[in-house]
Structure 1
Protein backbone atom coordinates (compact mmCIF):
# COMPACT_ATOMS: atom_id res chain seq x y z
CA UNK A 1 0.00 0.00 0.00
CA UNK A 2 1.32 3.45 -0.95
CA UNK A 3 1.46 5.85 1.97
CA UNK A 4 0.51 9.51 1.69
CA UNK A 5 3.94 11.14 1.84
CA UNK A 6 4.46 14.88 2.16
CA UNK A 7 7.52 17.09 1.93
CA UNK A 8 10.89 15.29 2.31
CA UNK A 9 9.16 11.92 2.27
CA UNK A 10 7.44 12.48 5.62
CA UNK A 11 4.01 10.96 6.12
CA UNK A 12 1.32 13.65 5.90
CA UNK A 13 -0.67 14.07 9.10
CA UNK A 14 -4.18 12.68 9.03
CA UNK A 15 -6.82 15.38 8.92
CA UNK A 16 -9.52 15.47 11.55
CA UNK A 17 -12.74 17.37 12.12
CA UNK A 18 -14.99 19.11 9.61
CA UNK A 19 -13.51 20.49 6.40
CA UNK A 20 -15.38 22.98 4.21
CA UNK A 21 -15.36 21.48 0.71
CA UNK A 22 -17.78 23.47 -1.46
CA UNK A 23 -20.06 26.51 -1.41
CA UNK A 24 -22.79 26.85 -4.05
CA UNK A 25 -26.10 28.69 -4.48
CA UNK A 26 -29.14 26.49 -3.89
CA UNK A 27 -32.52 27.89 -4.95
CA UNK A 28 -35.34 26.17 -3.05
CA UNK A 29 -39.10 26.46 -2.63
CA UNK A 30 -38.36 28.54 0.48
CA UNK A 31 -35.85 30.93 -1.07
CA UNK A 32 -32.27 31.04 -2.29
CA UNK A 33 -29.80 29.46 0.14
CA UNK A 34 -26.07 28.89 0.00
CA UNK A 35 -25.31 25.18 0.33
CA UNK A 36 -21.95 24.79 2.08
CA UNK A 37 -20.73 21.21 2.04
CA UNK A 38 -18.50 19.72 4.73
CA UNK A 39 -16.60 16.46 5.10
CA UNK A 40 -16.17 15.05 8.59
CA UNK A 41 -12.73 13.44 8.43
CA UNK A 42 -13.30 11.60 11.72
CA UNK A 43 -16.43 9.69 10.64
CA UNK A 44 -16.41 10.08 6.87
CA UNK A 45 -19.89 11.65 6.84
CA UNK A 46 -20.83 14.45 4.46
CA UNK A 47 -22.91 17.33 5.83
CA UNK A 48 -24.39 20.53 4.47
CA UNK A 49 -25.10 23.90 6.02
CA UNK A 50 -27.93 25.73 4.27
CA UNK A 51 -27.24 29.41 4.90
CA UNK A 52 -29.81 32.09 4.16
CA UNK A 53 -28.94 35.78 3.94
CA UNK A 54 -26.12 37.52 5.77
CA UNK A 55 -25.54 35.77 9.09
CA UNK A 56 -23.77 37.43 11.98
CA UNK A 57 -21.87 36.01 14.91
CA UNK A 58 -24.52 36.26 17.62
CA UNK A 59 -28.04 34.85 18.10
CA UNK A 60 -28.19 33.28 14.64
CA UNK A 61 -31.47 31.41 14.02
CA UNK A 62 -30.26 27.84 13.60
CA UNK A 63 -31.61 24.33 13.17
CA UNK A 64 -29.52 21.17 13.57
CA UNK A 65 -31.48 18.65 11.53
CA UNK A 66 -30.70 14.95 11.79
CA UNK A 67 -30.95 13.06 8.51
CA UNK A 68 -34.25 11.16 8.19
CA UNK A 69 -34.81 9.62 4.77
CA UNK A 70 -38.30 8.37 5.55
CA UNK A 71 -39.47 11.71 6.92
CA UNK A 72 -37.47 14.18 4.83
CA UNK A 73 -37.83 12.48 1.44
CA UNK A 74 -40.89 10.22 1.76
CA UNK A 75 -43.02 12.44 4.05
CA UNK A 76 -43.47 9.62 6.55
CA UNK A 77 -46.01 10.33 9.28
CA UNK A 78 -44.27 7.93 11.62
CA UNK A 79 -42.23 10.93 12.81
CA UNK A 80 -42.38 14.72 12.43
CA UNK A 81 -38.93 15.13 10.86
CA UNK A 82 -39.98 16.16 7.36
CA UNK A 83 -42.35 18.81 8.66
CA UNK A 84 -39.71 20.08 11.08
CA UNK A 85 -37.22 20.47 8.22
CA UNK A 86 -39.75 22.37 6.11
CA UNK A 87 -40.73 24.56 9.06
CA UNK A 88 -37.09 25.35 9.84
CA UNK A 89 -36.29 26.35 6.26
CA UNK A 90 -39.43 28.48 6.15
CA UNK A 91 -38.57 30.15 9.47
CA UNK A 92 -35.01 30.97 8.40
CA UNK A 93 -36.26 32.50 5.14
CA UNK A 94 -38.90 34.53 7.00
CA UNK A 95 -36.23 35.75 9.44
CA UNK A 96 -34.11 36.94 6.53
CA UNK A 97 -31.03 35.06 7.72
CA UNK A 98 -30.10 31.84 9.46
CA UNK A 99 -28.73 28.34 9.11
CA UNK A 100 -30.07 24.82 8.78
CA UNK A 101 -27.29 22.30 9.37
CA UNK A 102 -28.27 18.98 7.80
CA UNK A 103 -26.43 16.19 9.59
CA UNK A 104 -25.81 12.96 7.72
CA UNK A 105 -25.13 9.76 9.65
CA UNK A 106 -27.90 10.60 12.13
CA UNK A 107 -30.52 8.32 10.60
CA UNK A 108 -32.65 6.69 13.30
CA UNK A 109 -30.92 8.72 16.04
CA UNK A 110 -27.61 7.43 14.73
CA UNK A 111 -28.33 3.69 14.26
CA UNK A 112 -28.60 3.78 10.47
CA UNK A 113 -31.39 3.34 7.93
CA UNK A 114 -31.86 -0.43 7.96
CA UNK A 115 -31.68 -0.62 11.75
CA UNK A 116 -34.24 2.19 11.93
CA UNK A 117 -36.59 0.25 9.66
CA UNK A 118 -36.15 -2.82 11.88
CA UNK A 119 -36.96 -0.66 14.90
CA UNK A 120 -40.05 0.66 13.13
CA UNK A 121 -41.17 -2.92 12.50
CA UNK A 122 -40.87 -3.62 16.22
CA UNK A 123 -42.85 -0.48 16.99
CA UNK A 124 -45.61 -1.75 14.71
CA UNK A 125 -45.73 -4.80 16.99
CA UNK A 126 -46.18 -2.65 20.10
CA UNK A 127 -42.75 -1.53 21.33
CA UNK A 128 -42.04 2.17 21.70
CA UNK A 129 -39.10 3.83 19.93
CA UNK A 130 -36.79 3.43 22.94
CA UNK A 131 -37.72 -0.19 23.59
CA UNK A 132 -37.28 -1.04 19.89
CA UNK A 133 -33.70 0.22 19.77
CA UNK A 134 -32.81 -1.60 22.97
CA UNK A 135 -34.45 -4.83 21.71
CA UNK A 136 -32.09 -4.68 18.73
CA UNK A 137 -29.10 -4.24 21.04
CA UNK A 138 -28.60 -0.67 19.82
CA UNK A 139 -28.18 2.68 21.60
CA UNK A 140 -31.30 4.73 22.24
CA UNK A 141 -29.52 7.78 20.78
CA UNK A 142 -26.07 7.53 19.20
CA UNK A 143 -25.92 10.99 17.63
CA UNK A 144 -22.86 13.20 18.05
CA UNK A 145 -23.21 16.96 17.56
CA UNK A 146 -19.48 17.76 17.65
CA UNK A 147 -19.36 18.26 13.88
CA UNK A 148 -22.36 20.60 14.01
CA UNK A 149 -20.49 22.84 16.43
CA UNK A 150 -17.39 22.72 14.21
CA UNK A 151 -19.50 23.79 11.20
CA UNK A 152 -20.96 26.70 13.15
CA UNK A 153 -17.49 27.74 14.30
CA UNK A 154 -16.31 27.64 10.68
CA UNK A 155 -19.21 29.89 9.69
CA UNK A 156 -18.15 32.40 12.35
CA UNK A 157 -21.14 31.78 14.59
CA UNK A 158 -20.65 32.24 18.33
CA UNK A 159 -24.22 31.97 19.60
CA UNK A 160 -27.49 30.66 18.21
CA UNK A 161 -31.22 30.78 18.67
CA UNK A 162 -31.69 27.05 18.40
CA UNK A 163 -34.83 25.67 16.77
CA UNK A 164 -35.23 22.44 18.71
CA UNK A 165 -37.31 20.60 21.29
CA UNK A 166 -34.38 18.38 22.25
CA UNK A 167 -32.35 19.50 25.30
CA UNK A 168 -29.44 17.25 24.27
CA UNK A 169 -28.76 19.43 21.23
CA UNK A 170 -28.56 22.54 23.40
CA UNK A 171 -26.27 20.79 25.89
CA UNK A 172 -24.02 19.44 23.12
CA UNK A 173 -23.56 22.82 21.44
CA UNK A 174 -22.76 24.47 24.76
CA UNK A 175 -20.25 21.73 25.54
CA UNK A 176 -18.53 22.35 22.19
CA UNK A 177 -18.27 26.12 22.59
CA UNK A 178 -21.43 27.43 20.91
CA UNK A 179 -23.64 29.52 23.17
CA UNK A 180 -27.39 28.88 22.93
CA UNK A 181 -28.91 32.31 23.52
CA UNK A 182 -32.46 31.00 23.14
CA UNK A 183 -34.30 27.78 22.40
CA UNK A 184 -37.04 28.26 19.80
CA UNK A 185 -39.72 25.52 19.91
CA UNK A 186 -40.34 23.66 16.66
CA UNK A 187 -43.73 22.11 17.39
CA UNK A 188 -45.56 20.11 14.72
CA UNK A 189 -49.23 19.22 15.00
CA UNK A 190 -49.35 15.52 15.88
CA UNK A 191 -51.26 12.95 13.83
CA UNK A 192 -52.75 9.62 14.82
CA UNK A 193 -49.71 7.96 13.23
CA UNK A 194 -47.07 9.72 15.33
CA UNK A 195 -48.75 10.71 18.59
CA UNK A 196 -47.44 7.65 20.45
CA UNK A 197 -43.93 8.28 19.09
CA UNK A 198 -44.07 11.93 20.16
CA UNK A 199 -45.28 11.05 23.64
CA UNK A 200 -42.39 8.63 23.99
CA UNK A 201 -39.95 11.37 22.95
CA UNK A 202 -41.40 13.62 25.64
CA UNK A 203 -41.68 11.04 28.42
CA UNK A 204 -38.52 9.01 27.83
CA UNK A 205 -36.19 11.31 25.87
CA UNK A 206 -37.03 14.59 27.67
CA UNK A 207 -38.14 16.47 24.55
CA UNK A 208 -40.05 19.66 25.32
CA UNK A 209 -43.43 19.04 23.64
CA UNK A 210 -46.04 20.94 25.66
CA UNK A 211 -48.53 20.99 22.77
CA UNK A 212 -49.19 17.28 23.32
CA UNK A 213 -51.12 18.18 26.48
CA UNK A 214 -53.99 19.33 24.29
CA UNK A 215 -54.22 15.94 22.58
CA UNK A 216 -56.35 13.36 24.36
CA UNK A 217 -54.74 10.02 25.21
CA UNK A 218 -57.47 8.31 23.28
CA UNK A 219 -56.18 9.84 20.05
Structure 2
Protein backbone atom coordinates (compact mmCIF):
# COMPACT_ATOMS: atom_id res chain seq x y z
CA UNK A 1 0.00 0.00 0.00
CA UNK A 2 1.36 3.42 -0.93
CA UNK A 3 2.05 5.77 1.97
CA UNK A 4 0.91 9.32 1.34
CA UNK A 5 3.25 12.14 2.35
CA UNK A 6 2.47 15.28 4.30
CA UNK A 7 0.97 17.96 2.09
CA UNK A 8 -0.36 15.59 -0.56
CA UNK A 9 -3.88 14.48 0.39
CA UNK A 10 -4.89 10.91 -0.35
CA UNK A 11 -6.48 10.35 -3.76
CA UNK A 12 -10.20 10.87 -4.04
CA UNK A 13 -12.32 8.11 -5.51
CA UNK A 14 -12.40 8.40 -9.32
CA UNK A 15 -13.78 6.05 -11.98
CA UNK A 16 -11.29 4.11 -14.09
CA UNK A 17 -12.19 6.27 -17.07
CA UNK A 18 -10.85 9.33 -15.29
CA UNK A 19 -7.45 10.40 -13.94
CA UNK A 20 -5.95 7.90 -11.51
CA UNK A 21 -3.20 8.67 -9.02
CA UNK A 22 -0.49 6.01 -9.36
CA UNK A 23 2.52 7.05 -7.27
CA UNK A 24 3.97 9.79 -5.07
CA UNK A 25 7.73 10.18 -4.74
CA UNK A 26 10.11 12.83 -3.30
CA UNK A 27 11.78 14.84 -6.06
CA UNK A 28 14.65 17.14 -5.07
CA UNK A 29 15.33 19.68 -7.82
CA UNK A 30 17.65 22.62 -8.40
CA UNK A 31 14.67 24.82 -7.54
CA UNK A 32 13.76 23.10 -4.27
CA UNK A 33 12.23 20.00 -2.76
CA UNK A 34 9.10 18.76 -4.54
CA UNK A 35 6.92 15.67 -4.52
CA UNK A 36 6.18 14.18 -7.92
CA UNK A 37 2.65 12.82 -8.01
CA UNK A 38 2.15 10.60 -11.04
CA UNK A 39 -1.20 10.08 -12.73
CA UNK A 40 -2.60 8.00 -15.55
CA UNK A 41 -5.26 9.66 -17.68
CA UNK A 42 -7.36 6.67 -18.71
CA UNK A 43 -9.50 8.81 -21.01
CA UNK A 44 -6.63 10.13 -23.16
CA UNK A 45 -3.95 7.53 -22.39
CA UNK A 46 -1.43 10.13 -21.19
CA UNK A 47 0.83 9.85 -18.17
CA UNK A 48 0.83 13.09 -16.18
CA UNK A 49 2.74 14.48 -13.21
CA UNK A 50 2.09 17.17 -10.65
CA UNK A 51 5.06 18.66 -8.79
CA UNK A 52 3.89 19.65 -5.31
CA UNK A 53 5.93 21.85 -2.99
CA UNK A 54 5.14 22.25 0.70
CA UNK A 55 1.55 21.98 1.91
CA UNK A 56 -0.51 23.83 -0.71
CA UNK A 57 -3.85 23.63 1.08
CA UNK A 58 -7.10 24.09 -0.78
CA UNK A 59 -7.54 27.76 -1.60
CA UNK A 60 -5.54 30.34 -3.55
CA UNK A 61 -2.84 27.77 -4.32
CA UNK A 62 -0.05 29.13 -6.51
CA UNK A 63 -0.38 26.87 -9.57
CA UNK A 64 1.16 26.49 -12.99
CA UNK A 65 -0.35 24.35 -15.76
CA UNK A 66 2.66 23.74 -17.98
CA UNK A 67 2.19 22.29 -21.45
CA UNK A 68 4.85 19.79 -22.47
CA UNK A 69 7.45 21.30 -24.81
CA UNK A 70 10.41 19.02 -25.54
CA UNK A 71 12.30 21.60 -27.58
CA UNK A 72 11.97 24.31 -24.94
CA UNK A 73 11.89 22.34 -21.70
CA UNK A 74 14.65 19.84 -22.49
CA UNK A 75 16.69 21.36 -25.32
CA UNK A 76 16.55 25.01 -24.30
CA UNK A 77 15.11 26.23 -27.61
CA UNK A 78 15.05 30.01 -27.95
CA UNK A 79 12.17 29.97 -30.43
CA UNK A 80 9.77 29.87 -27.47
CA UNK A 81 9.87 30.79 -23.78
CA UNK A 82 8.58 27.44 -22.47
CA UNK A 83 11.72 26.20 -20.74
CA UNK A 84 12.25 29.53 -19.01
CA UNK A 85 8.60 29.60 -17.93
CA UNK A 86 8.84 26.13 -16.42
CA UNK A 87 11.95 27.06 -14.45
CA UNK A 88 10.40 30.38 -13.36
CA UNK A 89 7.22 28.63 -12.21
CA UNK A 90 9.15 26.09 -10.13
CA UNK A 91 11.19 28.90 -8.58
CA UNK A 92 8.05 30.89 -7.83
CA UNK A 93 6.31 27.95 -6.17
CA UNK A 94 9.42 27.18 -4.08
CA UNK A 95 9.73 30.85 -3.06
CA UNK A 96 6.05 30.88 -2.10
CA UNK A 97 6.66 27.94 0.22
CA UNK A 98 3.84 25.87 -1.28
CA UNK A 99 2.18 25.27 -4.62
CA UNK A 100 1.68 22.99 -7.59
CA UNK A 101 3.11 22.72 -11.09
CA UNK A 102 1.07 20.36 -13.27
CA UNK A 103 3.18 19.17 -16.21
CA UNK A 104 0.78 18.29 -19.02
CA UNK A 105 1.95 15.68 -21.47
CA UNK A 106 0.05 15.39 -24.74
CA UNK A 107 0.19 19.18 -25.06
CA UNK A 108 3.24 19.29 -27.33
CA UNK A 109 2.87 22.02 -29.94
CA UNK A 110 -0.37 23.23 -28.34
CA UNK A 111 -1.71 19.71 -28.68
CA UNK A 112 -0.71 18.78 -32.26
CA UNK A 113 2.22 16.52 -31.31
CA UNK A 114 5.99 16.71 -31.62
CA UNK A 115 6.47 15.90 -35.31
CA UNK A 116 3.62 18.18 -36.37
CA UNK A 117 5.15 20.92 -34.22
CA UNK A 118 8.49 20.49 -35.97
CA UNK A 119 6.73 20.69 -39.33
CA UNK A 120 5.04 23.89 -38.17
CA UNK A 121 8.40 25.26 -37.04
CA UNK A 122 9.77 24.60 -40.53
CA UNK A 123 6.97 26.74 -41.96
CA UNK A 124 7.70 29.44 -39.40
CA UNK A 125 11.31 29.49 -40.56
CA UNK A 126 9.90 30.33 -44.02
CA UNK A 127 7.96 33.31 -42.65
CA UNK A 128 4.62 32.04 -41.31
CA UNK A 129 3.64 32.75 -37.74
CA UNK A 130 2.61 29.96 -35.35
CA UNK A 131 -1.10 30.33 -36.09
CA UNK A 132 -0.60 30.43 -39.86
CA UNK A 133 1.72 27.42 -39.76
CA UNK A 134 -0.81 25.22 -37.96
CA UNK A 135 -3.58 26.30 -40.32
CA UNK A 136 -1.36 25.62 -43.36
CA UNK A 137 -0.89 22.06 -42.08
CA UNK A 138 -4.63 21.61 -41.63
CA UNK A 139 -4.21 21.43 -37.85
CA UNK A 140 -5.96 23.21 -34.96
CA UNK A 141 -4.41 26.43 -33.73
CA UNK A 142 -4.75 25.15 -30.15
CA UNK A 143 -5.95 21.60 -29.44
CA UNK A 144 -5.10 21.49 -25.74
CA UNK A 145 -7.60 20.25 -23.16
CA UNK A 146 -7.27 21.10 -19.48
CA UNK A 147 -9.80 18.64 -18.08
CA UNK A 148 -7.07 16.31 -16.79
CA UNK A 149 -5.32 19.22 -15.08
CA UNK A 150 -8.52 20.20 -13.29
CA UNK A 151 -9.10 16.62 -12.16
CA UNK A 152 -5.52 16.38 -10.88
CA UNK A 153 -5.98 19.57 -8.87
CA UNK A 154 -9.25 18.25 -7.48
CA UNK A 155 -7.52 15.01 -6.50
CA UNK A 156 -4.86 17.05 -4.66
CA UNK A 157 -7.61 18.84 -2.74
CA UNK A 158 -7.18 22.17 -4.53
CA UNK A 159 -10.36 24.25 -4.87
CA UNK A 160 -9.02 27.60 -6.03
CA UNK A 161 -5.74 28.75 -7.55
CA UNK A 162 -3.57 31.73 -8.22
CA UNK A 163 -2.78 30.78 -11.77
CA UNK A 164 0.73 31.40 -13.11
CA UNK A 165 -0.15 32.11 -16.72
CA UNK A 166 -0.50 34.81 -19.37
CA UNK A 167 -3.11 32.78 -21.26
CA UNK A 168 -6.76 33.68 -20.56
CA UNK A 169 -7.94 30.38 -22.05
CA UNK A 170 -6.27 28.43 -19.25
CA UNK A 171 -8.24 30.43 -16.73
CA UNK A 172 -11.48 29.90 -18.63
CA UNK A 173 -10.82 26.17 -18.93
CA UNK A 174 -10.15 25.68 -15.23
CA UNK A 175 -13.29 27.59 -14.28
CA UNK A 176 -15.28 25.53 -16.77
CA UNK A 177 -13.97 22.36 -15.10
CA UNK A 178 -14.85 23.51 -11.60
CA UNK A 179 -11.59 25.02 -10.32
CA UNK A 180 -11.89 28.62 -9.13
CA UNK A 181 -9.24 31.08 -10.29
CA UNK A 182 -8.78 33.65 -7.56
CA UNK A 183 -6.04 35.48 -9.44
CA UNK A 184 -4.07 35.23 -12.67
CA UNK A 185 -0.39 35.85 -11.93
CA UNK A 186 1.76 36.98 -14.91
CA UNK A 187 4.68 34.77 -15.90
CA UNK A 188 6.65 37.15 -18.10
CA UNK A 189 9.98 36.04 -19.59
CA UNK A 190 12.28 38.61 -21.21
CA UNK A 191 12.08 38.07 -24.98
CA UNK A 192 14.98 37.57 -27.34
CA UNK A 193 15.35 38.12 -31.07
CA UNK A 194 14.56 34.45 -31.78
CA UNK A 195 11.18 34.41 -30.05
CA UNK A 196 9.88 37.96 -30.35
CA UNK A 197 7.66 37.21 -33.38
CA UNK A 198 6.32 34.10 -31.62
CA UNK A 199 5.46 36.10 -28.51
CA UNK A 200 3.83 38.89 -30.48
CA UNK A 201 1.69 36.32 -32.27
CA UNK A 202 0.59 34.94 -28.90
CA UNK A 203 -0.39 38.44 -27.80
CA UNK A 204 -2.01 39.68 -31.00
CA UNK A 205 -3.71 36.50 -32.24
CA UNK A 206 -4.21 34.40 -29.10
CA UNK A 207 -4.95 37.13 -26.53
CA UNK A 208 -2.05 36.35 -24.20
CA UNK A 209 -1.34 39.16 -21.73
CA UNK A 210 2.24 40.16 -22.56
CA UNK A 211 2.59 43.88 -21.78
CA UNK A 212 6.38 43.64 -21.44
CA UNK A 213 6.69 43.32 -25.23
CA UNK A 214 5.98 47.02 -25.62
CA UNK A 215 9.42 47.80 -24.23
CA UNK A 216 11.39 45.70 -26.73
CA UNK A 217 10.67 47.34 -30.07
CA UNK A 218 14.44 47.55 -30.64
CA UNK A 219 14.54 43.77 -31.25
CA UNK A 220 12.39 44.08 -34.36
Q: CA deviation at 1:217?
A: 6.2
Q: CA deviation at 1:38?
A: 0.5
Q: Which residue of 1 aligns with 2:79?
A: 78
Cα distance in 2 for residues equivalent to 1:121 and 1:217: 25
Q: CA deviation at 1:175?
A: 0.3
Scaled by the length of structure 1, the TM-score of the pair is 0.93
Cα distance in 2 for residues equivalent to 1:106 and 1:15: 22
Q: CA deviation at 1:127?
A: 0.3
CA contact (8 A) 2:79 2:194 kept: yes
Q: Which residue of 1 aligns with 2:41?
A: 40
Q: Which residue of 2 aligns with 1:175?
A: 176
Cα 1:203–1:192 shift into 2, 3 Å: same
Q: Which residue of 2 aligns with 1:8?
A: none
Give the number of the structure whose alpha-carbon radius of gyration is greater. 1
Q: Deviation string for 1:171-200 (max 9, x for gaps)?
A: 000000000000000000000000000000
What is the alpha-carbon root mean square deviation over aligned residues?
0.9
Cα distance in 1 for residues equivalent to 2:33 and 2:87: 14
Q: Which ranges in structure 1 are unaligned for 5 or more consecutive residues?
A: 1-13
Cα distance in 2 for residues equivalent to 1:41 and 1:192: 41
Cα distance in 1 for residues equivalent to 2:137 and 2:192: 26
Cα distance in 2 for residues equivalent to 1:50 and 1:163: 14
Q: CA deviation at 1:106?
A: 0.1
Cα distance in 1 for residues equivalent to 2:56 and 2:95: 14
Q: Which residue of 1 aligns with 2:125?
A: 124
Q: CA deviation at 1:215?
A: 1.2
Q: Which residue of 2 aligns with 1:6?
A: none
Cα distance in 2 for residues equivalent to 1:111 and 1:66: 12
